[in-house]
A and B are shown apart, each in its own frame.
Chain A
Amino acid sequence: MSEQMSFVYVQATRHVLSVLTTLAASKTPPQVTDLASPSLLVRDLPNADPLHKGTVPQGIFQLTPDLLNVFTGDVISEALINPRGYSWKPDTKDVQALSGSGVTVASASPGVTVTLPVASSGTTKILAFYAGADPAKSDYIPASIPGGSTTITFGQSSLGVGTYVLVLVEEFPPVVLLV
């Protein structure tokens, strides 16, 4: 019986956020409701502020299964110790290490500004999670940077000063920002 590894990833931006292996594989691999219901806990992510390196223990987020999906395949040992350094690739049906670097996520006080190092040819999807009215799940704001552009500012009405925001930018490592 071979061990299998399940990757829980965000559907819109494809970031892998958590992993799990199972020794006793069943006929059907784990579904997203098996691994993330009522929610997936996401915390201790790096600070987006380059002046305050380190993780942000106050940034605690709960992502619901409707935003997530699961891919199950062979064990990738590097992804086991660093799952958040990986993303799901739908065209090759596997997970690969995130290749992007140099994205800037900054507070717009209120709101968030995301700036890509270079313009992409296609649309870059973004999701920003924050604590909402329901303590059992995080609210979120979708955004995107059109192809050819490099920056967007969004969330001015929801992301007030003092809000911890989990920012997922497609192809770049996840970060947490204090607005």
Chain B
Amino acid sequence: MSDTILRPTFYEGEILPSQDLVASVDAARGQLARHERYVHRWGIVTGLQLKGTKTPDGKGGEYMAVSLTEGMAADGSGREIIVVGEVPLNPEDFGHQINGKKDLWYPVFLSGRDENAASSSLLTGACTSSLPTQVKETYDITYGTPGAEQSLDEQTAPGISDGPADGVTTSAWLVLLGFVQWDPDRKVFTAVQDTNADGTVGRRYIGVNAANVVAGGGTLQLATHPTGSPDAKTIMALEIHETNDGELVFGKQNSDGSVSSVFTVDSKGDLTITGKFTSAVKPGSIQVQSGIASDGVVLPLPPGITSPDQADLHIHVTPRAITDYPPPPQKAAGEIWISMPLECLVDDVRRVNCRIIWLKAGGVAADVSEAAGLCDYTIVAAVPAAGG
């Protein structure tokens, strides 16, 4: 990483070396890359959807032919990645990279890479044979093991003054496209979806880093998809506008981009909703939660209670007498160890302190072992009659 940005300049009569011309291009690319990675958040800009088509395999069964639609992404180095045209995913590539098993969701990644274009035989240097005069900004589609999608934010960011990564001298930056399933016997894809198995990680789209977002025309809208997007079942939007003396509205976005409000707050603070208002917290009400808790966990508040200040909390815990606790690690064959409660209380942040102690029958003072225990708990939240 250089400690200052250098920008080439030229003078009359200069003998222009090729590296100065290259530096001119790199200066612009570097500036754009730094903008992309610091003003924006990396991800999919448009398209790049994994499409699956059920296809007969000629043996009475079927497989999923998966392709990637054209589109654009910006990776974490600020590099632009363009995929032109729809690209089929080759199952052989998956087979080379991953020892896949059935019923698991494997992440699919896109990364950018520079590749020298074939040199032109018509253009030769004075003393050398021809060299490439273009760099192809190409890409790779790779696969990961289940769970690899969890560590995408741990990828190494470039230095503050660096330009875009080339994917050759620097590690390729992975952009998550979606997930596929694999049949190891037939060596084909069998399913495709946008999220991982538990739905917690999905395709990442670009974002913006901003402390202020200011509209120029009196209306500012956040929406879950572009207006009219065919990928959306229902586009939801949140809009702040200056009409009607100023309002914040929430609801479904119409085809013309306006919002059908189901929730409106005006500039005076008046709230209007079209649905029902539900709250479990009524003044004078009692909310109860109970169950079993292990040592160290914090007891949750009853449904409807969001803060301990909303109600008077009455908490009761009782140690569970269990005969199936795992024996202490030092128990040897033939020994008899007996467990009994050591402590069972809730601290000032509602954290359970519940332990048992094991005593060896016929043992000496050192033959003890402490272990985490279980307790039955009940929390009663009494909402004051005048508040809540």
Which A residues are closer than 8 A to B by beta carbons?
A: 3, 8, 11, 17-24, 26-27, 30, 34-38, 40-44, 46-47, 53-55, 57, 71, 80-85, 90-93, 121-122
Contact = CB atoms under 8 A, between A and B. Distances in A.
B324 A81 contact: yes
Contacts of B47: none
B88 interface: no
Contacts, number: 113
Interface stretch (B3-11, B117-125, B246-254, B299-307): B299-307
Interface string B126-143: 000000000000000000
Please give me the 3 A-B residue pairs with the lowest Cβ-Cβ distance, nearest first.
A41-B296, A26-B303, A53-B330
B20 interface: no
B147 A20 contact: no
Interface of B: 99, 104-105, 145-147, 150, 196-198, 200, 288-304, 322, 324-326, 328-330, 349, 351, 353, 355, 369-372, 374
Interface of chain B, helix or strand or loop or mixed?
loop
Given A34-B301, A54-B328, A81-B374, 13 more contacts: A18-B294, A20-B292, A20-B294, A24-B289, A26-B304, A34-B300, A53-B329, A82-B325, A90-B147, A90-B196, A91-B104, A91-B197, A93-B197
Contacts of B355: 44
Residue from the set B147, B196, B200, B304 with the largest chain A CB neighbour count within 10 Å: B147
B295 A44 contact: yes
A23 B196 contact: no
Contact of B298 (A17, A36, A83, A85): A36
Contacts of A22: 289-291, 300
A28 to B, nearest CB: 9
Contacts of A83: 294, 372
Given A22-B300, A84-B372, A43 B295 contact: yes
Contacts of B303: 24, 26-27
A35 B297 contact: yes
Contacts of B145: 122
Contact of B147 (A23, A26, A34, A91): A91
Contact of B326 (A8, A36, A41, A81): A81
B293 A43 contact: no
A3 B291 CA distance: 8
B369 A41 contact: no
Contacts of A71: 198
B329 A54 contact: yes
Contact of B325 (A21, A36, A81, A122): A81
A8 B198 CA distance: 16
Contacts of B304: 26
Given A38-B349, A44-B355, A19 B294 contact: yes
29 contacts: A20-B291, A20-B299, A22-B289, A22-B290, A22-B300, A34-B301, A35-B300, A36-B298, A38-B349, A41-B295, A41-B353, A42-B296, A43-B372, A44-B295, A44-B355, A44-B370, A44-B371, A46-B329, A55-B329, A55-B369, A57-B370, A80-B292, A80-B294, A81-B322, A84-B372, A90-B147, A91-B146, A91-B196, A122-B145
A44 to B, nearest CB: 5
Nearest to B278: A27
Contact of B297 (A8, A38, A85): A8
B129 to A, nearest CB: 41
A53 B329 CA distance: 6
A19 B328 contact: no
Contacts of B197: 90-93
Nearest to B349: A38
B156 to A, nearest CB: 14
Given A20-B300, A55-B370, A82 B326 contact: yes
Nearest to A142: B154
Contacts of B371: 44, 55
Contact of B290 (A23, A34, A46): A23
B326 A40 contact: no
B324 A34 contact: no
B362 to A, nearest CB: 17
Nearest to A71: B198
B291 A21 contact: yes
B291 A41 contact: no
A37 B298 contact: yes
A37 B308 CA distance: 13
Given A24-B289, A44-B355, A122-B145, A80 B374 contact: yes
Contacts of B351: 41
A86 B7 CA distance: 57
B295 A20 contact: no
B289 A23 contact: yes
Contact of A43 (B105, B290, B296): B296
B291 A18 contact: no
A90 B297 contact: no
A27 B196 CA distance: 23
Nearest to B291: A21
Given A35-B297, A41-B351, A91 B105 contact: yes
